[in-house]
Chain A
């Protein structure tokens, strides 16, 4: 802990915007798909033509409630949309339809996985629904606007200032992203902008109750950026305080190239948004029945899976955390399990072999590795001693490339172990006969020579004999005088 860290404490709150996985936009029928040619997913409603009206996409409501339930929020039985007014070319109506005084979800918390299982909670202020704006594209001699994103449904997730370190901020974001992906609420893709984060950062002397002046940091496009930007901002604020200067309440942009935050011109954010209830939309009424229906359809969340992996499968908290971060990986792991006795082997396999294959190929899990049933069959062969662990690794590598099944690959590569006791006994007898001197030495007490005999038998059998049986037979034969 540096001298600064001993003296000051950071107080961090995060605002995350996550794009909801709906087929169409929140207030019109246009596709919400990312990546289409500019201005091909637009209509009079999402381009703000005169006289048009929004119609709420109920799917967005379900997704937001799903996230709210997962984050232990109170779901408002009645909430309203409001208009947030400001002029910007990418905002076609001149106002964003959002929620202000009555968010759909209030309170709640996100549980962060602790390294030793000591979970930390970050409380939430609210989760509310809103529409996204379009996108300005600045060319050298003009500015262009793409309205494809205009009206795409978002949830804004606002945390309490419960976060104290950049690492915790990263852990919070990873957990939240993992949750939205488990829930199929959002794809959590930061690069495509479907998962965006702003941070409110302030520092105060340790032990102080009052909060320091905060800055809002924007433009962080990865978890790494978030951690770096917050760390930079904490350091900057502490240095200012140490130099006896005041911190300005302002919005700052993270500059990833230079690794610094810079002040945005105050003109751009000094807004009075003049929120007022959206008269074109009726209140959002959420019945207890709807909440219960959504609750019964909720998938298992990462926190619950972590708990189950440690309690039921006997994995360590670290293993449980690695395996559950991505739902796809976790699902893959679970699909391996049926028929296997040794869960630990399966867990290790996924954490090493599977993740390595994914990382090396640079492709998504489903494309990078064979179907879980095939890998399960491979691991079953190891368990049944039909093949060795090393043979299984070789087979796995081949399967990743060829896409062939476990049985076929093992046969093709000739990896099946010989467990025929008669054949192994014959080989053992041959080795004992050929190495009479060594046998004598062994029997005279040089126990270390046992491994030599095993190696000789294995060699004689082309490396495919079952080592367990070799051990048994050799012990018997060498002991028998």
Chain B
């Protein structure tokens, strides 16, 4: 039992911890053992918190013994290394923050800590969440647990791989243009990006503030619902965070999709996408129909402009968000004779190539003489994309698409061609621009055995609909999860 405990779902572990059939320490130790066994091949973690995790597990054990422990008490999780964790170094996979230890917790970290969750370590990512493969990490790429020659997706590749490889029971990621959903699809796990403002961003190292959103990775939709309930909710430290009450997402999972109107956007079945991906998604749609849902074709006419708009808005915000890494107060400083050189050298050596590319792009988009043509135009496109979704949701309850046009690609395959890399997010980026909830969940495998991800998109604050539909599909047994190779 104990050695396999890392393979449990959160729902199963909750039951076993409460029935005292399993102790929090045994569970955490099982995960740490698994981490030791597979990390040399996967590199899903930047920092492993062995001692702290066991101490947290012991605390959780005491609380569980007293009864009435919160939902995530004793549940071992991986945390994307973009969340500020008090006393634990938080690198954002960048050299510039290689030794940064925050004196504060992100709001969601503080919440999970209060619930007694166990933090196994800080998961790998693309530097500052900029990337779609976790190859842009100063700490080396994360490998896909289904095929070690392939990428885990990104930017939350470490979190996705850790869940897929059973190094943890669940994980936290962030999603700015697909950074939860794409790696979830590539690794064959569940990942949900909630509505923008549903979860506090305080303490999440900012990439693109108007797009960044926190969300969980899990082995099942139910686990994702359990995690999301603990993450979501108002935060006085984040003025963009919604004060809407948080529903009990798990209770929404009634297995029912009868009468559900599923919109299928014609723009999302594009030329050049991997045929097996399209096949699997179409099969999933038929499966929904067989369960009593109806499908209707909808149109999201401005989809073609989404990537361009995203790479102007996100990089513009990033260019400002990353100005604080100047070598003055914390992080990497490369000494110089004068201030300008200190900035140049510290930032020049501290940031990786993709981060520099995006800072330059964003700086350009905001510059005098270009602002209207780029940043402002992109914001207008964003409004049109939002309107597309509003109109589509007048005709359906849920939109179903592929998560990514292909399954996980090979390491290095797209590193020399940033534009090809950016296209990995073609189906996920619009959802961020519109601020909507989107979830990726496995819907099959390609011929190489790589997982294919289905994407469910809901209207704003429609997380319950998304989770209910995902859970119903998962429970119907349409897809059987295959073991990983690690």
**Taking beta carbons and an 8 Å cutoff, which residues of A are in contact with B?**
44, 47-56, 83, 85, 87, 89, 92-95, 145, 272, 274-276, 279-282
Contact = CB atoms under 8 A, between A and B. Distances in A.
B298 interface: no
A87 B324 contact: no
A95 B92 CA distance: 21
Given A50-B100, A272-B367, A56 B324 contact: no
Contacts of B363: 274
Main secondary structure of the interface of A (DSSP, over half): loop
B272 interface: no
28 contacts: A44-B102, A44-B103, A44-B104, A47-B329, A48-B329, A49-B84, A49-B104, A49-B330, A50-B92, A50-B206, A51-B84, A51-B102, A51-B203, A53-B237, A85-B319, A85-B320, A87-B343, A89-B326, A92-B328, A93-B323, A94-B323, A272-B368, A275-B366, A276-B366, A276-B375, A279-B317, A280-B209, A281-B240
Contact of B324 (A48, A53, A274, A281): A48
Given A47-B329, A279-B209, A282-B239, A93 B368 contact: no
A280 B239 contact: yes
A85 B322 CA distance: 11
A275 B375 CA distance: 11
Contacts of A83: 320
User: Size class of B's contact patch?
Assistant: 35 or more
Contacts of B202: 51-53
Contacts of A94: 320, 322-324, 326
Main secondary structure of the interface of B (DSSP, over half): loop
B112 interface: no
A51 B204 contact: yes
A95 B319 CA distance: 10
Interface string B302-320: 0000000000000011011
A87 B102 contact: no
A433 B205 CA distance: 102
Nearest to A271: B368
Interface string B69-111: 0000000000000111000001010000100101110100000
Contacts of B375: 276
Nearest to B327: A89
A282 B328 CA distance: 29
A51 B205 contact: yes
B238 interface: yes
Contacts of B367: 272, 274
Contacts of B240: 53, 279-282
B302 to A, nearest CB: 21
Nearest to B322: A94
4 closest A-B pairs by CB: A94-B323, A274-B366, A279-B209, A279-B210
A275 B366 CA distance: 7
A338 to B, nearest CB: 47
Interface in B433-456: none
Interface in B367-417: 367-368, 371, 375
Interface centre among A44, A51, A280 (most CB of B within 10 A): A51
Contact of A145 (B102, B208, B328): B328
A276 B366 CA distance: 7
Contact of A50 (B102, B209, B237, B339): B102
A54 B324 CA distance: 14
Nearest to A90: B328
B201 interface: yes
A144 to B, nearest CB: 11
Contacts of A282: 239-240
B84 A50 contact: yes
B320 A95 contact: yes
A56 B239 CA distance: 8
Given A51-B206, A92-B329, A279-B210, 4 more contacts: A48-B329, A85-B366, A95-B320, A272-B368
Contacts of B323: 85, 87, 93-95
A87 B343 CA distance: 9
A235 B449 CA distance: 82
A43 B20 CA distance: 42
B418 interface: no
Contacts of A48: 324, 329
B205 to A, nearest CB: 4
Given A50-B90, A53-B238, A274-B363, A87 B206 contact: no
B279 interface: no
B201 A53 contact: yes
A51 B324 CA distance: 10
B320 A53 contact: no
A85 B320 CA distance: 7
Given A44-B103, A50-B84, A53-B202, A276 B320 contact: yes
B236 A50 contact: no
A53 B38 CA distance: 37
B320 A49 contact: no
A272 B363 CA distance: 10
A51 B97 CA distance: 12
A140 to B, nearest CB: 16
B372 to A, nearest CB: 12
Given A272-B367, A279-B210, A50 B239 contact: no
A145 B237 CA distance: 26
Contacts of A275: 366
B273 to A, nearest CB: 32
A87 B363 CA distance: 13
Nearest to B328: A89
Contact of A52 (B97, B203, B208, B316): B203
A50 B324 contact: yes
A44 B102 CA distance: 9
A282 B366 CA distance: 20
A51 B329 contact: no
Contacts of B328: 89, 92, 145
A221 to B, nearest CB: 25
Contacts of B103: 44, 49
Contacts of A56: 239
Nearest to A145: B328
A55 B239 contact: yes
A437 B220 CA distance: 126
Contact of B239 (A44, A49, A92, A281): A281
Contact of B316 (A55, A89, A145, A276): A276
Contacts of B210: 279
A279 to B, nearest CB: 4
